[in-house]
Amino acid sequence: MARRPADDGDTTTGDTATGDTATGDTVPLRDTAARRNGRWSTGRRAGARVAPNSTGPPVGGLANAAAEVVAPARVDQRTKTLLTRVLPGEVAVVDHEDLDRIAAEGLIRAQVGAVVNAARSISGRYPNYGPLLLAAAGIPLLDEVGPKVMTAVTEGQMVRVDGTHVWAGTALVGTGTRHSLESLETQLEVAKRAVSDELGRFAENTLSYLKREHHLLTDSPLLPELTTEVAGRHVLVVVRGLDYRDDLAALRSYISEVRPVMIGVDGGADALLDAGHRPDLIIGDFDSASDAALRSGAQLVVHAYPGGEAPGGGRLDDLGLTYTVFEAAGTSEDVAMLLAYEKRAELIVAVGTHASMVEFLDKGREGMASTFLVRLKVGPILVDAKGVNRLYQSRVRSRDMVFLVLAALFAMLVMVAVAQPLHVFIRAMSLSLRETWRALFGS
């Protein structure tokens, strides 16, 4: 298991690519007007349905093996970094083995025109559902194109994804496997049958690191000074993990009433801002938090590797922001919970944190020793809110609505029957109507 701080769930991995750069037209990154107005072709063939002049993916269909997409390319080894600049209709070129669900959801929200993956989107080690989400959303996925495509296609270059080929200008820069929903489901079933082997390796790796990281359970780290008082208060730790949006929405009343200290783990700070909350503290290596989140006024704590190396500090230095360094082993979400515990929080509520083997493998981690040890330590005050949105969903039945309306009518009739002012009003209205009738019809 890697001992370096992990990210907030948008993890991507891949080797540095090499290859020849092809020639072709380039659209500048800032030429947003042309890109938003759809001046390039994103036409699909063979029945894929696209709204007229749309720069988004096909609407309501499955990824079509014969679909063609022509659009500028955004190229990045890390999917979550690419998501910060890709616009609707553009082609996402990534090197992401075992494309995870969080990355796939980000690509879908970005409405990319197609995804070209240099690596295998499903390696078969374990069942990852990200590629299926892309297919179900109608986004073409070209897989196993090879590492050379990462340098053969340049940022902003106009590319054409046609069948199993990727073209840059007149040059063929890559060939891969064009997936459909059916082909991905077949691969997923194979991965499910092989998951027991991966589970054994995961458990073995976890046990080996438990021996090295046991100090997380017994030692008290050197804590940074915080500008927000934590002792005796509830602390909400938000990680941009599975279902974090729904869980934050389900906790809206809790947040409003209790007003906990809010800690965003890297991109979790953006999750809080998107939900209408301002983080009090942001902790992580700051490779996925937006500049807006970093400038939101929260205290910034850089999670440093054991030994003091703090790569996240470089970005904050470039932005001219002050920060504190917290050196500790484990993932950033582990360190956030550990910090709240050591600062004597009354309760820790975790949203979007990772717990299952699949979630850790999606993050690129081969074990969960630090998470296991930290949860053992903070367990008495930890409430994991993962899936809280599915715990209870209020349902209003038709018969309940009918009963409510009848009850309201009955209450009104009772009021009419017993209220003297209403009696007088009704009698006056009755007399007035009778006089009007006589005046009009003479009877």
Domain CATH for 295: 3.40.50
Domain limit, last residue, from 186, 214, 236: 186
Query: Do 43 and 181 belong together in one domain?
Result: yes
Residue range(s) defining the domain that contains residue 137: 32-186
The verdict on 267 and 363 lying in the same domain is: yes
The candidate with the shortest Cα–Cα distance to 83, out of 67, 62, 65, 99, is: 99
Total domain count for the chain? 3
Which tens digits make up the pLDDT trace of 315-360?
899 999 999 998 887 788 888 988 999 899 999 998 887 665 555 5
pLDDT tops 90 at residue 233: yes
Average pLDDT, the chain: 76
1 part of a folded domain: no
Decide if 359 contacts 242 (C-beta within 8 A): yes
Q: Is 294 domain-assigned? A: yes
Percent of all residues in the chain with a pLDDT value above 70, rounded to a whole number: 69
Q: Is the pTM of this model over 0.75?
A: no
pLDDT digits (tens, 9 = 90+) for 153-184: 999 999 999 989 999 988 999 999 998 888 88
* Final residue of a structural domain among 186, 215, 234: 186
What pLDDT was estimated at residue 19? 36
If asked whether residues 319 and 336 sit together in one domain, one would say yes
165/329 Cα distance (integer angstroms): 44
Does residue 357 form part of some domain? yes
**Residue with the larger pLDDT of the pair 379 and 343:** 343
In a domain, 92, yes or no: yes
Looking at the fold, whether 384 and 410 belong to one and the same domain comes out as no
Say if residue 141 is in the same domain as residue 178.
yes
Q: Which has the minimum average pLDDT: 144-158, 276-290, 407-421?
A: 407-421
Residues 44 and 174 in one domain: yes
Whether residue 329 is found in the same domain as residue 369: yes
Please indicate, yes or no, whether residues 333 and 411 belong to a single structural domain of this protein. Answer: no
Q: Are residues 42 and 178 in the same domain?
A: yes
Q: Encode pLDDT of 99-111 as tens digits.
A: 888 889 889 999 9
Same domain, 168 and 297: no
Residue 37 has phi, psi (to 5 degrees) of -80, 0
Pairwise CA distance, residues 165 & 2, whole Å: 36
Q: Which residue has the higher pLDDT, 309 or 233?
A: 233
The pLDDT of residue 129: 83
Residue 15 pLDDT more than 70? no
| SS3 letters across 216-269 | HHHCCCCCCCCCCCCCCCEEEEECCCCCHHHHHHHCHHHHHHHCCEEEEECCHH
Shared-domain flag, residues 157 and 254: no
- Whether 196 is in a domain gets the answer no
Residue 246 lies in a domain: yes
- Residue 405 covered by a domain: yes
Please indicate, yes or no, whether residues 424 and 363 belong to a single structural domain of this protein: no
